[in-house]
Chains A and B, each alone.
Chain A
Amino acid sequence: MPQTRNDQRRNRLTQPWTAVAIASNQPNGFGPKPYAVELQIFGSQIFDPIKKETGAHLLPFLFHLCRVNAVIAGNAETDAQERIPTENAPGLTFGRRGTTLSRARSQEGSGLNRTLVDARILQEFRAVVGDSGLITSQEELKTYECDGLTNFRVVPQAVLLPRSTEQIQGIVRVCHRERVPFVARGSGTGLSGGALPVKDGVVISLARMNRILEIDFANALVVVEPGVINQEVTGRVAPQGFFYAPDPSSQSICSIGGNVAENSGGAHCLKYGFTTTHVLGLEVVLPDGSLAHLGNKTLDAPGYDLSGVFVGSEGTLGIATKITLRIVKRPDCIQTLLAAFNSTSEAGAAVSGIIAAGMLPAAIEMMDNLAIQAAEAAVHANYPNCGALLLVELDGPTAEVEVLMCQVDEICRKCGAGEIRVAQTEAERVLVWKGRKAAFAAVGRISPNYIVQDGVIPRTALPRVMTEIARLSAEAGIRVANVFHAGDGNLHPLVLYDRRIEGQEHAAEVLANRILELCIEAGGSITGEHGVGEEKKMMMSKMYAEPDLETMQRVRCAFDPEQLSNPTKVFPRPRLCGEQPGDYQPHPVELAGIAERF
């Protein structure tokens, strides 16, 4: 009795779990054309086979998760197939997208190529950046194996440290020619794994490109290299009364290039907007090594707003090498109010009241009791010990701020605020903000480990979501400290756990994911400022429908058809750039029962 396809599939899904994917290559006349590999897959990723007709290539990231057991080689004329286990073909190398078999070694039935960054390619890199610009030693490479998200680590093949746009172009040209994926890296402070190296790829560190190239006060703009530290921009323009508005809490170490990649926000983006609001133009090295100027120093450059698409694309569209930023005049007066409430609901009601009154503060931040305790332990911010703390910052002309601050005070009292303090001098203000800005690091004082999330919800959903988070937290026995940008609904739940205790890490991860799902259910977003990166790419399928992701991927193909620029990030499933949407056509190998489509 012939086995049903399901039976066959079930059998194949027992130990070791296997799946067959199909690969093909551009015709090149070198021996039989392999068009399938049998893979052992670890984890639960599921891949669709690639249609041979589109001339598609094996998904490179399969190799992050798979060990190739064999190649099913086919004869183009007769369509006969032969299974060649890899141990019988030691010279087999495996191809990346775009690699043609013209690089096949002279082994019989040798198949796809993987371009390892070998001595030859390293030499090409060395020719561009010199010895001092190339890191290849294992110990040094390990320092680049992760960014601020430390539970994902991949050691890159090499790290390059260019000093100029021309050097970056040189590096990327080599990568393009040799099909080596690359990941650009700023300060490595990202919290979503955006700078996590890609297996068998290289890291291009922008740390040495840290000059401020031009400051134009008359036109309120500056031009900087990507490695410039965020806070440094403000530092340089402060004497003339300007500041650079996007202020992520990591601003003393994070780079502008990283801010551009993630479209970083910060506490003041409620009023001032995000990085994308402040980027006028970009000089970009595209993934083929060519240079393009997106946007301009002047507004509304004709054509598509490509700089608007580039900001927040998390390094998947190329590398920004010069960034024109808008600087803003410091307001006349800045006042920060601190109000203590019994609960986050009360504080949330105050926030709604402020918005309903027609005010737009510069920032509204909230911290719950756990976060307050952490901040006290870490930096002695001298916060009142209460259920929830609200920070409201108003800025603008002095007379305006004074009137509005009275209104805010009144609203807070009406909503049950106990203690209210108003910081009026710069020194007082800095102290008030100290605790909030140190919150993430501060929780390290009350918990050995933590996961920080970055969901966004509509402001009106705040009470409901906070209650649900508290319930889930109690249920799981995992504490959650809450710090958030109450003005725009951007939550930063800090899920606290102790890795040494059995099961806590897993429980914490489950809780963190559930909180993100809550955000989606409430009509929000999975990330307000940290980016999708590696960490949340699978959640993209929950937030967006397939056509939405597919459209974004099409835009990506316009920039990076070879998928070399930070290729494994943001999207849950890569989409090949030659792929035509439409009805699925089964492949002959699949029809023959060798391949399965899951």
Chain B
Amino acid sequence: MQNAFEMASLPTATGKGAAVPWNDLRAIASAEQVRSAGPSDRVAGVQPEAVFEPGSEKELAAALHCADAAGLSVVPRGGGTKTSWGNPPMRADLILSMARLNGVIEHAWADLTVSVEAGCTFQRLQNTLSQHGQRIAIDPLWPEHATIGGILSTNDSGTLRIRYGGLRDLIIGMTIALPDGTLASSGGKVVKNVAGYDLPKLATGALGTLGVITRAVFRLHPLPHNLRSFTFETRDLTDANRLMLAVQDSKLAHTGLQARYSEERTPAVDVRFEGTDAGIAAQTETLRKLAAPAAEAANSDSVWQARQELWSSAEAAAIAKFSVLPASVAETCGRIRLLADSLGVQWRAVVQGTGLGWLRLEASSAPAIHQLLHTLRPELEHVGGSLVVLHRPAAMPAIDAWGSGGDAFPLMLSVKQQLDPRGTLNPGRFIEGI
């Protein structure tokens, strides 16, 4: 499959390929569920022709099958908050909108599980769950607009990951629609289940390239009784890394641990606790001892929004997610600083105790940003890390979003060919041209 990043230099490429079978689509659902696409439906500069809004899993599967048979390219869409992630699509003919598949199917609160349609927004789901004092233990980006399907497909988890795991650890069942019209379920409604292959993991982070997630079942956690956060001002990168590692190595049961870096100020380290008053009080004391001599700063809960804030007013900025070993964070940020200084790029980063970090780059020269990313990625990959570009300024030369798939790529391609043999779903947007 042709690597798609060449398409990025054609910002107004239309998606025109095969003809949209309007009548067939209208036969699947009511006429108001099928419409022509407009400029706001563009996917990374590529203009689709039609938008279909299924009202049920069956309609979705039928429409997807219809599109696949007609040779169309399909882009599933939830809240549209991350449409620009991945590489621009080679083609985009039909948007499959999840807007109507947006309900909470069943909140089995006594079993600590929930079954939800993929088009449900995260906030709406959390609100429903909180009625019984429960939640999905993740904090994704743009929760009022982002949908469950989109969050899963982009593997977007936040600071709670350090305690509760990522999406792959919270999802226990899933139904996906394949381009041949199959609706396949795996996993189930119970947390402990090893019957069959763990396909929810396959679909998590797959950017909708293997199938369209129609519903998901999650394990839940209780809402915390109390929350308390702390911020410490550290001297430099090494000091910040040392504190983060010390917290990780301690017996503290923190539910959030991050460092905020920018070239304007010394790094700050944030720590969050949840639980009983007595538990939090005792841990606070331990934390303060660990952190000394770093100064404790005034804290507000908004520090946990720092990752999302990287995206504000970011038209001219590039944003990337990197993954390194926790003990290498200082080194990585040091390298970023060096490169940024030499290229005249301003940078900010939020790095979690897990070794996952988000980097924002700005410069008067977009090629300089490109140069930094282009240089940094192979260095990180060389030591077993990764760099994924999530947001690019329009003026920046094209760069592949994902990086290398390594020797597992042929296998990834085989899986893709098994589930989406015609390359109908999001063609060219995923790793190495998938």
Chain A residues within 8 Å of B, Cβ to Cβ: 216-220, 241, 262-263, 265, 269, 273-274, 276-277, 286, 290-294, 296-306, 308-309, 311-313, 329-332, 352, 355-356, 358-360, 396-404, 456-460, 485, 488-490, 523-532, 536, 540, 543-545, 547-552, 554-559, 570, 581
Contact = CB atoms under 8 A, between A and B. Distances in A.
B407 A551 contact: no
A306 B385 contact: no
Interface in B277-323: 278-279, 281-283, 286, 321, 323
A460 B222 contact: no
16 contacts: A216-B327, A218-B245, A293-B407, A299-B354, A302-B431, A303-B402, A305-B205, A305-B206, A312-B198, A356-B110, A458-B111, A525-B194, A525-B195, A527-B194, A557-B418, A558-B417
Contacts of B431: 302-303
Contact of A273 (B169, B196, B414): B169
A292 B326 contact: no
Nearest to B182: A547
Contact of A302 (B198, B278, B386): B386
A548 B384 contact: no
Contacts of A400: 253, 275-276, 278-279, 282-283
Contacts of A330: 251
Contacts of B432: 303
Interface in B182-200: 182-186, 188-199
Contacts, number: 275
Interface in B242-278: 245, 248-253, 275-276, 278
Interface in B167-189: 168-169, 178, 180, 182-186, 188-189
Nearest to A331: B251
Contacts of B326: 218-220
Interface of B: 108, 110-113, 133, 155, 165-166, 168-169, 178, 180, 182-186, 188-199, 201-202, 204-206, 210, 221-223, 225, 245, 248-253, 275-276, 278-279, 281-283, 286, 321, 323-327, 354-356, 384-386, 388, 402-412, 414-415, 417-419, 430-432
A299 to B, nearest CB: 5
Given A400-B279, A523-B190, A554-B418, A458 B113 contact: yes
B249 A329 contact: yes
A404 to B, nearest CB: 7
Contact of B186 (A304, A356, A457, A548): A548
A573 B108 CA distance: 33
A559 B192 contact: no
Nearest to A296: B384
A300 B166 CA distance: 9
A291 B197 contact: no
Contact of A551 (B184, B198, B282, B404): B184
Given A304-B415, A549-B196, A397 B184 contact: no
A397 B282 contact: yes
Given A331-B253, A352-B110, A527-B193, A309 B198 contact: yes
A94 to B, nearest CB: 28
B413 to A, nearest CB: 9
A2 to B, nearest CB: 40
